[in-house]
């Protein structure tokens, strides 16, 4: 039967019924609760959200979350191009930013168009892109980006390259770690011997520096949530690569989601958090979304690795088989046996000449140009990474 697909736009996740969200974004995908939290967090100065509902004769068949943002070009440009943008940007500030209309979500680990069973991205990509192009024109966005789509969508997304004039650009890879049943002890057994030895050593040294009480909680009280956000801000400011800038209101909103769990390390003397990891329990997958570490502590506390032990123990205990840990901060994640997950951005600039230029620049974007930790890791592990990521 021929479908008569059309697109209807809404500007809020609440304008789509919960049943459609549940069908189109089942676990382990971040669903309506995720977009509600983002919308209710006062992030309008960074993002404008909208949602393309894919319909067949008025019947909803899918949801494509989208957002509008001004993107710092230095985040994705190769080093030489980034340097040029900085120089020109001193005279023409707008050159440093690109008003961009995204298909996908800020903060989400992978781009997703949620579709009912029986409907493929290949069937819907072009009609979504046509609607997005018009929406972007009205919003005066020069660039359209389908953000962080995983390798399993590559065949379906090919239609965007062949018929919509888009070009691919390598994105920051995601990270995942397999979690065997049996808790942290079994996880250690599954690790490569050198990584296992180093992890155990770091945890021992951290414990020798200072004792910390571990717990996994939900719905933190206001004081604890304020302390958690303080740790998040410390870690955000410490990071080399900065995407979205979240606020306390977001943490208050996301804490309401029943799947939100906070892995905490606290000082036994006063109960004050020294580190946290926010994890979402979504079926067989746990998403390790945000962390915060107290960088003011003196000595070798090895907070990340001690947090990771508690997260693995908890995730294994609830039956999860993998932890997805997102982009950036690669060095520590690779040290505990995460594998790199290739992600691709599909892009198009409104101006044909600029589209050609950006496509040429995109050819020079690699994991090595995006992140120094990846560059150093790939010098000795390239073949291993390719094998594990396919």
Residue range 175-339 forms a domain whose CATH class is: alpha beta
Round to whole Å and give the CA distance between 187 and 191: 7
Please report, for the chain, the start and end positions of each structural domain, with discontinuous segments joined by +: 5-172+343-389, 175-339
- The confidence score (pLDDT) of residue 88 equals 52
Q: How many residues does the chain have?
A: 390
Residue 387 pLDDT more than 90?
Answer: no
Residue 155 pLDDT more than 90?
Answer: yes
Average pLDDT over the chain, rounded to an integer: 91
Tell me the average pLDDT across 74-98: 58
Lowest mean pLDDT among 141-145, 193-197, 372-376: 372-376
CATH architecture for the domain at 5-172+343-389: 3-Layer(aba) Sandwich (3.40)
DSSP conformation letters of 321-349 = -EEE--SS-HHHHHHTT-EEE-EEEEEEE
% of the chain with per-residue pLDDT over 70:
90
Give 119's strand partners: none
Positive or negative: CA dihedral 315, 149, 71, 362? positive
Residue 52 pLDDT more than 50?
Answer: yes
Q: What is the pTM of this model?
A: 0.90
Q: Could you identify the residue written with the tokens 């560059």? A: 375
- The confidence score (pLDDT) of residue 354 equals 87
Round to whole Å and give the CA distance between 314 and 81: 44
Rg (CA), the chain: 21
Domain 5-172+343-389 matches domain 175-339 at the CATH topology level = yes
Round to whole Å and give the CA distance between 99 and 357: 17
Residues 6+ apart with CB under 8 A from 116: 23, 24, 61, 62
Confidence of residue 107 (pLDDT cuts 50, 70, 90): confident
Stated as kind and residue range, the H or E segment containing 48 is: strand 48-56
Residues 6+ apart with CB under 8 A from 194: none
Round to whole Å and give the CA distance between 249 and 231: 15
Round to whole Å and give the CA distance between 208 and 70: 46
Tell me the average pLDDT across 98-113: 91
Residue 261 pLDDT more than 90?
Answer: yes
pLDDT digits (tens, 9 = 90+) for 336-380: 999 999 999 999 999 999 899 889 989 988 999 888 899 988 887
- The confidence score (pLDDT) of residue 383 equals 43
Round to whole Å and give the CA distance between 301 and 2: 61
Confidence of residue 1 (pLDDT cuts 50, 70, 90): low
Stated as kind and residue range, the H or E segment containing 70 is: strand 59-72
* CA separation, residue 214 to residues 126, 224, 310, 314, 365 (Å): 49, 14, 7, 11, 40
């Amino acid at each position: 039967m021929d479908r008569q697909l059309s697109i209807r736009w809404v500007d809020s996740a609440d304008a789509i019924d919960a049943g459609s969200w549940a069908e189109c974004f089942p676990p382990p995908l971040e669903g309506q609760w995720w977009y509600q939290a983002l919308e209710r967090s006062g992030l309008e100065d960074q993002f404008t959200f909208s949602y393309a509902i894919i319909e067949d004769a008025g019947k909803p068949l899918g949801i494509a979350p989208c957002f509008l943002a001004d993107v710092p070009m230095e985040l994705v440009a190769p080093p030489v191009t980034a340097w040029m943008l900085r120089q020109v940007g001193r005279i023409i500030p707008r050159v440093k930013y690109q008003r961009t209309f995204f298909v996908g979500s800020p903060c989400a680990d992978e781009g997703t168009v949620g579709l009912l069973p029986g409907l493929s991205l290949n069937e819907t990509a072009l009609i979504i892109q046509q609607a997005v192009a018009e929406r972007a024109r009205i919003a005066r966005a020069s660039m359209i980006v389908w953000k962080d789509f995983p390798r399993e969508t590559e065949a379906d997304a090919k239609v965007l390259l062949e018929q919509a004039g888009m070009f691919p650009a390598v994105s920051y890879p995601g990270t995942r770690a397999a979690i065997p049943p049996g808790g942290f002890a079994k996880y250690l057994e599954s690790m490569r011997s050198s990584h296992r030895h180093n992890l155990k050593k770091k945890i021992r040294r951290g414990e020798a520096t200072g004792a910390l009480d571990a717990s996994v909680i939900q719905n933190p009280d206001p004081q604890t949530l304020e302390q958690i956000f303080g740790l998040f801000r410390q870690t955000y400011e410490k990071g080399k690569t900065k995407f979205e800038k979240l606020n306390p209101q977001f943490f208050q909103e996301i804490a309401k989601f029943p799947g939100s769990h906070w892995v905490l390390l606290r000082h036994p003397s006063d109960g004050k958090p020294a580190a946290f990891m926010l994890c979402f329990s979504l079926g067989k997958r746990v998403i390790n979304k945000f962390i915060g570490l107290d960088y003011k502590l003196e000595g070798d506390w090895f907070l990340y690795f001690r947090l990771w032990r508690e997260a693995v123990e908890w995730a294994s205990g609830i039956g999860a088989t993998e932890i997805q840990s997102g982009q950036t901060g690669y060095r520590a994640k690779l040290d505990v046996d995460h594998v790199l997950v290739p992600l691709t951005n599909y892009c198009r600039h409104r101006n044909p000449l600029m589209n050609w230029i950006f496509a040429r620049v995109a050819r020079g974007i690699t994991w090595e140009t995006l992140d120094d930790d990846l560059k150093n890791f790939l010098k000795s592990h390239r073949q291993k990474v390719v094998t594990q990521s396919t």
